[in-house]
Amino acid sequence: MTTEELEQLLAQQPIALLHRLARGRVQRHFRAGKRRLIEVLLRHSAENRAGFESDLMTLIGEKPTRTAPPLPQAPAPRKPKSPAPQRRTTHRSVEPESHEPGVTLSSWLEGLGVPPPKTFVADAWQEEAIAKLREGDVVVSVPTGSGKTYVAVEAARRAIAENRTVIYTSPLKALSNTKYTEFSKIFGADQVGILTGDRRDNGQAPLLIMTTEILRNLLYDAGGGEIDIRLDTLGLVILDESQYIADPERGVVWEETIIFCPSQARMLLLSASIGNPHDIAEWLTSIRTTPCHLIRHSTRTVPLRAGYLHPNGKLTPLFRTVGIPHGHPTHLHPEAKRLFLQYEDETLPSGRRR
Amino acid sequence: MPPSIHPVDLILALRDKHLTPAIVFLTSRRACDEAMQSFDHSHIVLPPPRQEAIAAVLDKVIAQYPSIAEHPLIPTVQRIGVAAHHAGHLPSWKIAVEELMRHGCLDAVFATTTLAAGVDFPARTVIITQSSIRKSRDFMDLTIGEVQQIAGRAGRRGKDLVGFAIVTPSPYIDLNVLTKGFTGHPEAINSQFLISYPMVLNLLKAHPLDQIQPILAKSFAQFQLNQRAEVLQRKLDDLGEQMEPFGPRVCTDWITEWQTFDQVRRQKSHRAPIRRHEPPEVAARFHFLTPGRVVGFARGRGVVLRQYRSKGQKSPMITALREDGGITESPASTVTEVSDRILDCVDAPVYPWCTPDSVEDLLHQLEELPGRLPELPILIPKDDEPIPDAIVQTLGDFACPTCPSRSACQRDYPIAAKLRQEQHRHVKSIQALRTSLWHRFQEKIDVLQEFGYLTPTAHLTEDGEWARLIRIDHSLLITELLRAGAFNGADPAMLAAVMSSIAHDDDRPGAFPRVSSGLASLLGQVRKLAVSLSPHEDPPLLRADIAAVTERWIGDPTLTWIGLCKSTTMAEGDIYRLLARTLEFLSQLHTLKVTHPGLADTASRAIAALRRGVLEELP
């Protein structure tokens, strides 16, 4: 067998076989991509060509017997349902599942565009959140960009209509400023005030925007006897980005705020998707006078698709499905997988060439 | 192939597939700036109407915030329709970029992932180039929640039918982290209940000490600790059930009883160990009886050829070559003196234990030795009798050997002991979980009492009354500085400079203006105090170079913002944030006007001097 033939033969083999071949021959072979692996194996085979070839042949000869046993088991449960697909799998018996073709790029890109303008209709969860706020506190945990602000605005509107003060807090001063501009447009400049570390505008307005630290300080001063006249008319406290409760340095401020929030005020906690919103809701229920209602959902209003862009400019879907296969991180698009392996091959430490 | 896609190619590819506008998240500010630079000579310009649209929006923002009129990125933004948005920029610039994005004027924004939470604008597409971010000087993989937060910026409600999150590789990217992030369920969040000194003071101001524990019990931290405690409690209940068959037997606490008995039994094993009764002097000497050593016996001398211990002979043995040429085996105790001489001796593994030549040689040397030889001074350890084990002595007191339930105890002991150990562990952890928060609070109380902010009955002292108003990081250091009178007579610039060096927590290196000598010595004092407080509070970085930036800004009212920026390599946005934080610290000092009127006055003058130019323009 010439070197070229051997190289071709190696290239035809699955990478798992190459790794088995490299075991004991090449150090750190698991780091290498296929091309690199073949290269190293060939270099290595020069020392003991005959032994290498015979090992390769045994591995190739062994392959079908090794993959054969799982065959009868795998399609078995599907048997009664549909015989046709089962047959197909027997034909491509050696191929693992991941070789199923993924979606094409065009079908992945399909649907891209601007939706026709339509009048805004609140989602069911948004309505529910606003309605539940009449009965008690509400924790909202929904994906980014689902329209949490709408809930905040509507809830604030209702509280203001009932002549109650609303406090809206955000973790960052910049976000507070953005919200100040945004709410001023919605409610009118005289209805909105802002309090941050060094800014105090329109402090008597019914809707006050502040950083959470400022609210915490207000609550402390009220607790310390320096009565702030506004706390007894406080009707609603909105804590935006309340996943900050897990912030290593500032998280405690959210807890203090929630603990010391006057009992007559309703709380509305808006948070991005987190793993345990029910804990937060349960906690609120346990320490506050009214029960807390949890609103959570994980479907995005605008569906999300994931793609892979190779440095050479080639775009492919990242997953085999059009949307994101939740719970199946390994369902990669074969093309994306191939391109990424190629990329790793050329850039990762295993290819330490300069 | 380049390690990652070139920004120009990226924009071209996005435009080609109609995937704009996009947010491109890059690893660092520098990467964002370099990406912007790469458009300098590119020809992928926007059509004139879109350029005009950008100019119109920019004009509107500039009218509000004149500080960005001369921003160096404006030409690129207008020509290409791309912008950079990161913490190194002024807030007004970031507002401009956000405004442009909201109007849909831009094709792409290069931003840092660290700011993903602060980026308040969506786009059709999000480009992800890395799988880890820098968190407190260390690179950490993105969590599922973070990946989703980043990807979540894709797809504008009402403007897009679908959003796209596109991964493009750069070195050190780990695709698994990202695919898991896309498809996974976000992590649970955990409470981070940091008990600070101002918190303790404020709580004690409003509530007496005995009400504090119920308040702490209301925290999310305690809620989560309780959850963990409940899990343990359930395990404990399970264990209790499993322990049922191992209840009281003949003796109530049979597990302990058996444990002690078993231990004792093991210690007093029935097979007596081989005891070598050798007097201490023999044992001490034996180490010196090495081949070649000249020793004296009751009659005559000899040279040691080998030493050995054997099971048959209870005492240690030596083989010696005697003066008469005989080779004898004798116990080491027959040696009467050990001299300090060692003769050359080539030892061999078989009789006569040295080479035949050396036998001759040794005999010869032995004859030539003088009559008296100095003896080797060997310290003989005091014979310490092993203390009889108290438990071993009382073995006769155990009832176990004759107890009717002995066989049952013996059978069940291993499993019952394990269960009981587990029980003890759980009980202890549950106790710790229930009380840890309170203990941490008490620790802080102790410190505050030590420093005199609290009375022994945990009421606020005079100092405590004003100290509770300082609700910022490093509050203990600041209040201690005030008590030490460190700022007496300090001018506004000095006060603000020290405050900014306390406030600044970034260790990014750079070039900075010189520090004045007065400020340097004051900072030296502050540092000394900070170090002495370090057992109770982490000391701040206290960078003199940072203080100098603030000192210049306040000390020289004619200094323009651009002039300040030119005096240092610090990014514009960082200077802004530094000054804004200093403002916050100063306004806390300003609240002390009742107790520290002089200081509050200096602080308010510093605030007035600080707030000019760019800092005045933005809220």
pLDDT digits (tens, 9 = 90+) for B343-384: 888 878 888 788 888 888 888 888 888 878 888 887 776 655
Total residues found in chain A within this entry = 354
Cα distance between residue B47 and residue B41, in whole Å: 16
B1 vs A305, A312, A328: nearest CB = A312
Could B188 and A274 be called an inter-chain contact, meaning their C-beta atoms sit closer than 8 Å? Answer: yes
Please, which pLDDT band fits residue B275 given cuts at 50, 70 and 90? low
Q: Is the Cβ of B213 closer than 8 Å to some Cβ of chain A?
A: no
In chain B, ranges of CATH 3.40.50.300 domains: 7-183
Q: Give the pLDDT mean for B277-284.
A: 76
B379 SS3 class = coil
Cα distance between residue B252 and residue A343, in whole Å: 70
Q: How many C-beta atoms lie closer than 10 Å to residue B443's C-beta?
A: 13
Q: Check residues B273 and B256 and name the one with the higher pLDDT.
A: B256
Q: Is the Cβ of A162 closer than 8 Å to some Cβ of chain B?
A: no
Task: With beta carbons under 8 A apart, name residues in chain B contacting A333.
Answer: none
pLDDT at A84: 42
CATH architecture, domain B7-183: 3-Layer(aba) Sandwich (3.40)
**What type of residue is A75?**
P
Q: Give the pLDDT mean for B495-516.
A: 86
Token couple for B134: 């820098």
Helix (H) or strand (E) holding B343: none
CATH architecture, domain B469-617: Orthogonal Bundle (1.10)
pLDDT at B59: 93
For chain A, give every domain's residue range. Answer: 3-67, 96-112+304-351, 124-296
Within 8 A by CB and 6+ apart from A127, the residues are none
- Rg, chain B, Cα only: 41
pLDDT at A167: 93
Task: With beta carbons under 8 A apart, name residues in chain A contacting B619.
Answer: 177, 180, 194, 196, 199, 201
**CATH for the stretch B281-368:** 2.40.10
* Widest CA span in chain B: 123
Mean of the per-residue pLDDT values of chain B: 87
Smallest CA–CA distance from B587 into chain A, residue:
A198
Q: Give the pLDDT mean for B39-52.
A: 89
Q: Is the Cβ of B101 closer than 8 Å to some Cβ of chain A?
A: no
Cβ burial B308-346 (10 Å sphere, 16+ → b, else e): eeeeeeebbbbbbbbeeeebeeeebbbbeebbebebebe
CA distance A69 to chain B (A): 30
CA angle B277, B278, B284 (to 5 degrees): 150
CATH topology of domain A124-296: Rossmann fold (3.40.50)
Could B165 and A197 be called an inter-chain contact, meaning their C-beta atoms sit closer than 8 Å? Answer: no
Q: Is the Cβ of A304 closer than 8 Å to some Cβ of chain B?
A: yes
Place of tokens 């072979």: A29
Cα distance between residue B125 and residue B160, in whole Å: 10
Q: Give the pLDDT mean for B35-60.
A: 91
Residue A140, beta-bridge partner list: A270, A295
> Taking a C-beta distance cutoff of 8 angstroms, is the pair B440, B192 a contact?
no
- Which 333-352 residues of chain A touch chain B by CB within 8 A? 340, 343-344, 346-347
Q: Is the Cβ of A213 closer than 8 Å to some Cβ of chain B?
A: yes
Spans in chain A with pLDDT lower than 70:
62-100, 197-198, 223-230, 348-354
Q: Give the pLDDT mean for B215-227.
A: 94
Percent of all residues in chain B with a pLDDT value above 90, rounded to a whole number: 42
ipTM of the complex model: 0.75
In the predicted model, is pLDDT for residue B423 greater than 90? yes
pLDDT at B419: 93
Could A302 and B163 be called an inter-chain contact, meaning their C-beta atoms sit closer than 8 Å? Answer: yes
> Taking a C-beta distance cutoff of 8 angstroms, is the pair A319, A332 a contact?
yes
**Which among B124, B133, B132 is positioned nearest to B166, based on CA atoms?**
B124
In the predicted model, is pLDDT for residue B512 greater than 90? no
Could B587 and A197 be called an inter-chain contact, meaning their C-beta atoms sit closer than 8 Å? Answer: yes
Could B5 and A311 be called an inter-chain contact, meaning their C-beta atoms sit closer than 8 Å? Answer: yes
Q: Which of B110-119, B162-171, B584-593 has the lowest mean pLDDT?
A: B110-119
Q: Is the Cβ of B102 closer than 8 Å to some Cβ of chain A?
A: no
Q: Which of A153-157, B11-15, B274-278 has the lowest mean pLDDT?
A: B274-278
Place of tokens 């043995």: B317
Please, which pLDDT band fits residue B516 given cuts at 50, 70 and 90? confident
Could A327 and B166 be called an inter-chain contact, meaning their C-beta atoms sit closer than 8 Å? Answer: no
